[in-house]
Structure 1
Amino acid sequence: MTLTLFPRDTAAGMAARLADGTVTPEALLRTCLDRIAALDGTLHAWVHLDPEGAARAAAASGTRHRAGVALGPLDGVPVSVKDNLHVAGMPARWGSRFFADFVPAQDDIVVERLRAAGAMILGKTSTPEFALSGRCFSPLTGHTRNPLDPALTPGGSSGGAVAAVAAGMVPLAIATDAGGSTRLPAGYTGLVGLRPSNGRIARRHGFPAMALDFQAVGLIAATLADLRLLYAAVAGPDARDPTSQRQPPEPMAGPGRRPRIGCCAAIEGELVDPAVRQAVAESAARLAAQGCEVVPCTVPYDLAALRDIWGVLTAAGVARMAARFPARWEAEASDSLKPMARRGAAMPAAEYVEALDRLATFRADVSARWGAHDALLLPSAAAPAWPVEQEFPAIIDDQPGHARAQNVFATWVNAMGWPGLTVPGQPHPDGRPIGVQLVGSHGSEALLFDLAQRLVG
């Protein structure tokens, strides 16, 4: 299956043309809606469009631009929001039949900030049910497809967000990331994606957490410059989110500062595509050429312990949702969620509390093992995108009887609440994009942006 894509318009380019008057917000909106109409019948990136609301935002933005009082660089720039985040007046279905008719009355804080920046919110993008899958299939929308090859998945759970940006439908997308859901899809589609530190982007008025504080609002863009624009508009503390008020200063590699980068592309017992390992090696060489000290390392986390903790937390989270819809659950829930709900419902309270104890130990151990590194360079995923019909998290490798788990380099970042930034690496020999990931300790977004700039040039 092939798809003819439109050239990607960057948010920075749109902002420049809006500022000099060579384009209007209304014209940008028409272009985006035309692209969505042409492509989304194949891609299924969108679950709700709000052309009337976007038109009102475009008209207000146009008035400000003509008066010379634009609200900032995102004033009049189109953006999408993932369907597990609340946008007042738009459905928030969470990829689930259980919320098919739910329309929140309040914006999440990130949406408030988009509106305050003058951005045009076109609508909501697809997610698997409860955002708990590494591919993007839900009972409501079916399969969301990768614009670069519609036979492949764009990943999940922010598959709709990356599909919309990679197809040139919008330049920016708001996503979420609880186990890699921003960074992996960005890597599968040749984009940049940020999972910020917990609290860096304040949150309020949303769905209940499925795995404690593992999830953060994520940002998707086609270029690092665009990601910086979006981050500047939506990051920052808010009194309604106490975690957001406990952010440390953002360290940055300045003149004379030689960052020390740990580099790892292998985990014992886990399969990693050779092309992914090569992409990390090529990125390591590029960072070294840009003045970084790059040293081999091993991952600082216990993957088996993490998988056990994640399994307990998500089972409990799904069981909570099943308990809210007992008469409908077995008939309407995604098949992949039903065994999780059964496990969670049968789980003793002591088992859950013990998982919290193990999480505390996990976090302490990773911090102790971090060492003298300023950041780590890792794969975003263990392999490039795979056929859209094939389930996640494990995909069958060429070796009979073996499987490759895609998120082995990702979910530990969520467990720590740390930032991770994916940028495109050297592609696979067959052309599929490969993402490489920079991870820093809590509050180090500015450093990651600096290092990412050295990678992308």
Structure 2
Amino acid sequence: MSDRIHSTAAELAEALAAGSVTSVDLTQAHLDRIAAVDGDVHAYLHVDAEGALEQAVASDERRAAGTPLHALDGVPIAVKDVLATAGLPTTCGSKILEGWIPPYDATVVARLKAAGLPILGKTNMDEFAMGSSTEHSAYGPTRNPWDLDRIPGGSGGGSAAAVAAHMAPLALGTDTGGSIRQPGAVTGTVGVKPTYGGVSRYGLVALANSLDQVGPVTRTVLDSALLHELIGGHDPRDSTSIDQPLPGLVAAARQGAAGDLAGVRVGVITELAGDGWQPGVMARFEESLELLVKAGAEVVEVSCPHFVHALAAYYLILPAEASSNLAKFDAMRYGLRVMPQGIDSPSAEEVMRATREAGFGDEVKRRIVLGTYALSSGYYDAYYGQAQKVRTLIGRDFAAAFEQVDVLVSPTAPTTAFKLGEKLDDPIAMYLNDLATIPANLAGVPGVSVPSGLADEDALPAGFQVLAPALADERVYRVGAALETALTEKWGGPLLAQAPSLESTQNGALA
């Protein structure tokens, strides 16, 4: 069964439908893989072997009765630990929620269960999704399966590493400024940020309400489309949920995989290139563009002049929203409670101060302070208000660009995976990893990161980003799948097949 862990989710669904494999066998194979390699990778914070196998047994019974709930019924999945899961811990990578077990499921988790997907466990992340490397987890960093000395991206490095290391065929992540797409780029996986409001945020522990979006983490574009269609759609419990049907994402992915992009106009964002971009990343990007042209696409340069201010605007808007959202972790209702030392009858404020000091990590404290300052009297208009104006201008840049082209493209991240600890003490250098991904979150448009190959300098994965107008998610799937098909033909197989084995080296990656 070990070979099954290398199959795509679509292939596993076909095997389950054909009766050539059982969900119990698939789930156990992935649990065995977790036991074998996650001690080195640390992609998971909690593994629910008993629960996953129970769900797999139920799936097999439905298959035997001819009543599967969904095409993916029985295909196991991992879930980022920022999504509420009834009966399973949800820590958000923070000590302040250590041991907290939600009494309800996030809508996306409920939809997974309703479709019969066994949940393998909860994946590691930067604390409250604040980070680009998964080094800010209170429970230790996740390591990149391609090189265990390097980061897997963040904040959702656990989900990306689990999929890249074949510890799950599918995973859920969340993307606030690139936290699905940037880990996808540096681990050689596919990561999708849906249109804002296209997937329910109910049950997602919010970092920044106007930016957060749940999305798929997979090994192929088709797998992402299958998962996106499952979790997407209107949810009346989420006030930001869009009340209209999803476009045909799976159909678009299948159309793109046929390799025909005739009539598709692809815009290269001129502001997302140049100094500071790793040459090997840019080389893979240029090669990918050539493949799109061969598939029939027309490539033109497009300027989005306000994108250069996106990073600054984001790091005012996000901390402001985060400082408000995290105020609820006050030691009064749930989570950690620390009593201050040397005080016989501490006040609520003193308990709150001691708890937040012990429960929050340095990055979370940094952003709370920054956000509180930006919202304070006398500074609101100068900082937060100005950032929102820039956000509007970025949205206008997108609108103008999409009048000229069907999709916009760029490298997903400026560099390949950097070494653990290399940027941990330099927040600005860390923030620059999201330079290309942040504009999509500010504007609410969909995007995908597709592996574009290995950079010449270090033989590590790079990513190619495709962005589309809001509610036109099918475009990123069509173009992403076309590129994936062309690159797979060029490489003679999936990119992940080129990685060294975790079992064969302590400084390498997947089998």
TM-score (norm 1): 0.90
1:68-126 per-position Cα deviation (integer Å, ceiling 9, x unaligned): 11112211100000000111111110110000021111111111111111100111000
Structure 2 counterpart of 1:176: 174
Structure 1 counterpart of 2:470: 442
Aligned to 2:435, the other structure's residue is in SS state coil
Structure 1 counterpart of 2:412: 380
Structure 2 counterpart of 1:272: 277
- After superposing the two structures, state which structure 1 stretch, 249-258 or 271-280, moved more: 249-258
- After superposing the two structures, state which structure 1 stretch, 36-45 or 229-238, moved more: 229-238
Structure 1 counterpart of 2:211: 214
Q: Give the whole-Å Cα distance in 2 for the aligned partners of 1:172 and 1:403.
A: 27
Structure 1 counterpart of 2:367: 340
Q: Answer whether contact 1:5 1:167 (CA < 8 A) is retained.
A: no
1:412-441 per-position Cα deviation (integer Å, ceiling 9, x unaligned): 100011101110103101310000000011
1:292-330 per-position Cα deviation (integer Å, ceiling 9, x unaligned): 111122345332254134334315513652673422223
Q: Give the whole-Å Cα distance in 1 for the aligned partners of 2:464 and 2:3.
A: 24
Q: CA deviation at 1:260?
A: 0.9
Seen in structure 2, the aligned counterparts of structure 1 residues 350 and 289 have a Cα distance that, compared at 3 Å, is: farther
Seen in structure 2, the aligned counterparts of structure 1 residues 5 and 152 have a Cα distance that, compared at 3 Å, is: farther
Structure 1 counterpart of 2:479: 451
Q: CA deviation at 1:172?
A: 0.2
Q: Give the whole-Å Cα distance in 2 for the aligned partners of 1:264 and 1:411.
A: 14
**Residue type of the alignment partner of 1:415:** L
Structure 2 counterpart of 1:369: 400
Structure 2 counterpart of 1:56: 54
Q: Give the whole-Å Cα distance in 2 for the aligned partners of 1:149 and 1:54.
A: 29
**Residue type of the alignment partner of 1:196:** P
Q: Give the whole-Å Cα distance in 2 for the aligned partners of 1:256 and 1:231.
A: 22
Q: CA deviation at 1:362?
A: 2.8
Structure 2 counterpart of 1:399: none
Matched, 1:236 2:236: no
Identity %: 35
- After superposing the two structures, state which structure 1 stretch, 436-445 or 347-356, moved more: 347-356
Structure 2 counterpart of 1:226: 223
Q: CA deviation at 1:404?
A: 9.1
Q: Give the whole-Å Cα distance in 1 for the aligned partners of 2:399 and 2:57.
A: 53
Q: Give the whole-Å Cα distance in 2 for the aligned partners of 1:412 and 1:169.
A: 31
**Residue type of the alignment partner of 1:328:** T
Matched, 1:420 2:425: no
Q: Give the whole-Å Cα distance in 1 for the aligned partners of 2:121 and 2:141.
A: 18
Aligned to 1:301, the other structure's residue is in SS state helix
Q: CA deviation at 1:259?
A: 1.3
Seen in structure 2, the aligned counterparts of structure 1 residues 233 and 403 have a Cα distance that, compared at 3 Å, is: closer
Q: CA deviation at 1:205?
A: 2.6
1:140-185 per-position Cα deviation (integer Å, ceiling 9, x unaligned): 3211001111111101011000111001111000000000000010
1:109-148 aligned within 5 A: 109-148=107-146
Aligned to 2:77, the other structure's residue is in SS state strand
Q: Give the whole-Å Cα distance in 1 for the aligned partners of 2:427 and 2:325.
A: 29
Structure 1 counterpart of 2:489: none
Q: Give the whole-Å Cα distance in 1 for the aligned partners of 2:356 and 2:247.
A: 44
Q: Answer whether contact 1:316 1:345 (CA < 8 A) is retained.
A: no
1:26-37 aligned within 5 A: 26-37=24-35
Seen in structure 2, the aligned counterparts of structure 1 residues 40 and 258 have a Cα distance that, compared at 3 Å, is: same
Q: Give the whole-Å Cα distance in 1 for the aligned partners of 2:292 and 2:320.
A: 40
Structure 2 counterpart of 1:433: 461
Q: Answer whether contact 2:78 2:121 (CA < 8 A) is retained.
A: yes
1:207-245 per-position Cα deviation (integer Å, ceiling 9, x unaligned): 2x3223111002111112211221221111122224333
Matched, 1:15 2:9: no
Q: Answer whether contact 1:280 1:377 (CA < 8 A) is retained.
A: no
Q: Give the whole-Å Cα distance in 2 for the aligned partners of 1:447 and 1:316.
A: 30
Structure 2 counterpart of 1:297: 302
Q: How many residues align?
A: 448
Match of 1:354 among 371, 382, 385: 385
Q: Give the whole-Å Cα distance in 2 for the aligned partners of 1:305 and 1:265.
A: 14
Seen in structure 2, the aligned counterparts of structure 1 residues 268 and 52 have a Cα distance that, compared at 3 Å, is: closer
Aligned Cα root-mean-square deviation (Å): 2.7
Q: Answer whether contact 2:410 2:464 (CA < 8 A) is retained.
A: yes
Structure 2 counterpart of 1:286: 291
Match of 2:315 among 310, 313, 317: 310
TM-score (norm 2): 0.81
Aligned to 1:243, the other structure's residue is in SS state coil
Q: Give the whole-Å Cα distance in 2 for the aligned partners of 1:393 and 1:158.
A: 20
Seen in structure 2, the aligned counterparts of structure 1 residues 125 and 268 have a Cα distance that, compared at 3 Å, is: closer
Seen in structure 2, the aligned counterparts of structure 1 residues 240 and 302 have a Cα distance that, compared at 3 Å, is: same
**Residue type of the alignment partner of 1:210:** L
Match of 1:391 among 423, 444, 447: 423
**Residue type of the alignment partner of 2:9:** A
- After superposing the two structures, state which structure 1 stretch, 244-253 or 54-63, moved more: 244-253
Aligned to 1:88, the other structure's residue is in SS state coil
Aligned to 1:152, the other structure's residue is in SS state coil
Q: Give the whole-Å Cα distance in 2 for the aligned partners of 1:329 and 1:194.
A: 33
Aligned to 1:386, the other structure's residue is in SS state coil
Structure 2: 5+ residue runs without aligned partners? 331-351, 486-511
Structure 1: 5+ residue runs without aligned partners? 397-401
1:77-88 aligned within 5 A: 77-88=75-86
Q: Answer whether contact 1:377 1:439 (CA < 8 A) is retained.
A: yes
Structure 1 counterpart of 2:490: none
Q: Give the whole-Å Cα distance in 2 for the aligned partners of 1:17 and 1:54.
A: 19
**Residue type of the alignment partner of 1:354:** G
Seen in structure 2, the aligned counterparts of structure 1 residues 290 and 318 have a Cα distance that, compared at 3 Å, is: same
Structure 1 counterpart of 2:147: 149
Q: Give the whole-Å Cα distance in 1 for the aligned partners of 2:450 and 2:325.
A: 36
